[in-house]
Structure 1
Amino acid sequence: MRILVTGGAGFIGGHLAEAFARDGHDVVALDNFEPFYDVGLKERNVEAGRRAAADGDGSYELVRGDVREADLVDEQVGDADVIFHQAAQAGVRTSVEEPQKVNEINVSGTLNVLEAARDSDTERVVVASSSSVYGKPEYLPYDEDHPNTPVSPYGASKVAQEQYTRVYNEVYGLPTVALRYFTVYGPRMRPNMAISNFVSRCLNGEPPVVYGDGTQTRDFTYVGDVVRANRALLDTDAADGEAMNVGSTDNIEIRTLAEEIRDQLAPDLELEYAERNDADSEHTHADISKADELVGYEPTTTIREGVERFTDWYRENRDWYEPLVRNS
C-alpha cells in the first residue's frame, strides 16, 4: 500500500512513517521542516524511516514541501492509497502569538489535503486532531460529545479542521477519520515538552520547573499507542466520518509527574515553580471507549512505564538529543 504521511518528519508523523515502512508499505513523508524546534530532530526521524524501510520490505521517500502548496499536495495525494495528515503548526503558546499562521497551516493546509483526496482514488484520510478542541472541561473524562470550547487559537484551528474533515465525509463521501490525540510523548519527542525537560534537568542536577501550581492534570499518551491507533485504520472502515479520542490509561498531575521523575533520577532536588500560561488547558483526560468500540484501541503503556522507556532512550541518545532540549 502507498501511504502519504504529511508532517512525516515530525514527532508523531515520523513514528508513523517509520512503522508503516517497517510493515512493508511504500511511504512518502511530506514535511516542510518548519524550524519550530531544531530541525536536526526531524533529520533523525527521516533516518529512522529510511532504516525501517531498509530493514523490511517497504520503501521510504522524503518530499520537502508544505501542505499550503496546493499543487504539491495534489501531486502527492494523487499517488497515495491512504493519507495520514499529521502536518500542523504545533504549540498552544505559538498560536497565541501567531494565530493567522496557525490557521493557514492547520485549516487551509487541511483543506488542500481533503480537496486533493476528493479528486483522487484515495481510500481514506486520517487527520490528526487534538484534545485542545475541548478546552474548559464541563466533566471528565472527555467523551466525544463534550462541548468544544477551546481556549487557544490552536484549539480553535483543530475544531475547524475536524469540521471540514467531517463535512468532506458527509457531503462528498470521502472516507475520513479524525483522531484527537492527548499529549503524546516518547522517543524523539519535541524537545520543549514537559517530560523531556523534567528528565533533562534531573539528569543534570537541576530542579524540574513546573508552570503554575502543578495541580493541572494531563492524559499523557505514549507514541507507540498512537501508532497502533493509526495502524488499525488501515484495516477497517468502521470509523469513517468519526472523531475519536486517542488517550492513555489515566491522567496525572503535572506536579506528581515532576516528583516521580525527580524521585527516580535525582531525589535530593526540590521542585521549582514558574508562571503558567493562561492558554494552557487546566485538565485533560480521555474517554477512549469509542475508539475501543470502533477500532479496538486499547492503550498498553502507563505513564510510569512510558517515562521509564523515554528515560532509557534519553540516556542512550543523550549525546545528540540533550543539546536540543537544553537549547529549547
Structure 2
Amino acid sequence: MHVLVTGGAGFIGGHLAEAFLEDGHDVTVLDNFEPFYAEGIKRHTLEVHREVAADGDVEYRFVEGDVRDPETVREVVDDADVVVHQAAQAGVRESVDNPQRVTDINVDGTVNLLEASKETDVDRVILASSSSVYGKPRSLPYEEDHPTEPVSPYGVTKVTQEHMARVYTELHGLPTVCLRYFTVYGPRMRPNMAISNFVSRCLNEEPPVIYGDGEQTRDFTYVDDVVDANRTLLTDDSVDGEVLNIGSSDNISIQELAEVVRDQLAPELEIEYESAREADAEHTHASVEKANETIGYEPSRTITEGVGEFIEWYEANREWYEPLVRSS
C-alpha cells in the first residue's frame, strides 16, 4: 500500500509515517515546514523516516510543499492508495491572532486534498480533527453526537473540515473518516504544549507555570494510540463518512499534571500561575465507546503512565530535543 501523509514532518504525522514505513508500506510525506515550532524537530523526524525506510524494503519520498497549492496536492495524491491528512495550522491561540491564515490552511487546503482524492482511485481519506470542535461542554465525557460549538477559529475550521469530508463521501462516494484527537502527546511532541513545557522547566530547575487556576481539565492521548487507530483505518471501512473520538477516556486537571511532573523531577519547586489564555477550552474528556465498538480502539496508557514514558524519552533525547524546546 502507498500512503500519503500530509503534515508528515510534524508531531503526529511524523509518528504515523514512521509506523506505516515500519509496517512495510510505501510512504510519501508532504510538509511545508510551517514555522509554528522549531524546524529542527521536523528535520529530526525526517531523518528517522529515512533510517526506517533504509532498513526495510519500502519506498519513501519527502515532498516539500503546501496543501494550499492544488497542483502539488494533485501530484502527491496521484500515487496514493490512502491519504492520511494531518497538515494544518495548529494552535488555538494562533487562530485567534490570525483567523484568515488558519482558515486558508485548514479549510482551503483540505478542499484541495478532497478534490484531488475524488479524481483518483484513493481507497480512503483519513482526516485529523480535534476535540476543539466541541467547545463548551453540555455533558462529559464528550460523545460524538455532542453539539459542536467551538470557541476558537481553529475549532471552527476543524468542524468545517468534517462537514466537507462528509459531503464528499455523500456526493462523490469518496470514503472519508474524521478522527477527533484529544490533546496528543509523546516523543517529539510540540514544545509549546503543557507537558513538554512542565518537563523542560522542571529539568532546568524552573517552576512549572500554569495559565489560569489549574482547575481546567484535559484528556491527554498518547501518540501510539493515535497511530493504532490510523493503522486500523487504512483498511477498515466500517466508519466511512463518520467521526470518531480518539482519546484516553481519562482526564486530569492541569494542576494535577503539573504536580505529577514536578514531584517526579523537582519536588522542591513551587508552581507558578499566570493569566488564563484566550479561547482555551475549560474541560475536555473523550468517550471512546464508539471507537471501541467499531474499530476495537483501546487506550494503552493512563495519563500518569504516558507522562512517565515521555519524561524517560525526554531525558534520553535531551541533548538534541531540549535546545529546540527552549528556543521555541
Question: TM-score by structure 1 length?
Answer: 0.99
Give SS of 1:324's match.
helix
What is the aligned partner in structure 1 of residue 33 from structure 2?
33
The corresponding residue for 1:203 is 203
Q: Is the 8 A contact 1:3 1:84 kept in 2?
A: yes
C-alpha separation in 1, matches of 2:105 and 2:175: 22
Q: Residue 326 of structure 1: CA displacement? A: 1.3
Query: How far apart in 2 are the matches of 1:47 and 1:304?
Result: 30
| Cα deviation digits, residues 115-172 of structure 1 (max 9, x gap) | 0000000000000000000000001000000000100000000010110011101111
Match in the other structure for 1:276: 276
Q: Which residue of 2 aligns with 1:165?
A: 165
Aligned equivalent of 1:18:
18
Letter in 1 for 2:212: G
- Report the equivalent of 2:318: 318
Counterparts of 2:50 and 2:258, CA distance in 1 = 35
Deviation at 1:59, TM superposition (A): 2.3
Shift of 1:52: 1.5
Partner in structure 2 of residue 245 of structure 1:
245
Deviation string 1:33-76 (CA, Å, 9 cap, x unpaired) is 01111111100111111112122232221100000000110111
SS in 2 for 1:3: strand
Which runs of 4 or more aligned residues in structure 1 lie more than 4 Å from their structure 2 counterparts after TM superposition? none
Q: 1:211-232 CA distances to partner (integer Å, 9 max, x unpaired)?
A: 1000000000000000001000
* Secondary structure of 1:149's aligned partner: coil
Residue in structure 2 matched with residue 306 of structure 1 by the alignment:
306
| Structure 2 residues not aligned, in runs of 5+ | none
- Corresponding letter in the other structure for 2:313: W
Per-residue deviation, 1:277:
1.1
Q: Which position in structure 1 is the counterpart of 2:119? A: 119
Contact 1:11 / 1:189 at 8 angstroms: preserved in 2?
yes
TM-score by length of 2: 0.99
Q: Are 1:21 and 1:53, in contact at CA under 8 Å, matched by a contact in 2?
A: yes
Amino acid at match of 1:53: A
Aligned length: 328
Flag structure 1 segments of 5+ consecutive residues without an equivalent: none
Q: Secondary structure at the match of 2:127?
A: strand
Q: Deviations over 1:11-32 (max 9, x none)?
A: 0000000000111000000000
Q: 1:48 — aligned with what?
A: 48
**Does the CA contact (< 8 Å) of 2:249 and 2:285 recur in 1?**
no
**Aligned twin of 1:193:** 193
CA contact (8 A) 1:24 1:59 kept: no
| Partner residue, 2:77 | 77
Rounded Cα–Cα distance in structure 2 between residues aligned with 1:40 and 1:315 = 18
- Does the CA-based 8 Å contact 1:215-1:255 persist in structure 2? yes
- Tell me the residue number matched to 1:151: 151
Give CA-to-partner distance per residue, 1:77-105, whole Å, 9 cap, x none. 11100000000000000000110000000
Amino acid at match of 1:176: T
Shift of residue 184, structure 1, vs aligned partner: 0.2
Asked whether the equivalents of residues 19 and 52 of structure 1 are also in contact (C-alpha less than 8 Å), the reply is no
Kindly provide the amino acid, as one letter, of the partner of residue 320 in structure 1: W
User: Structure 1 counterpart of 2:250, which letter?
Assistant: D
Map of 2:176 onto structure 1 = 176
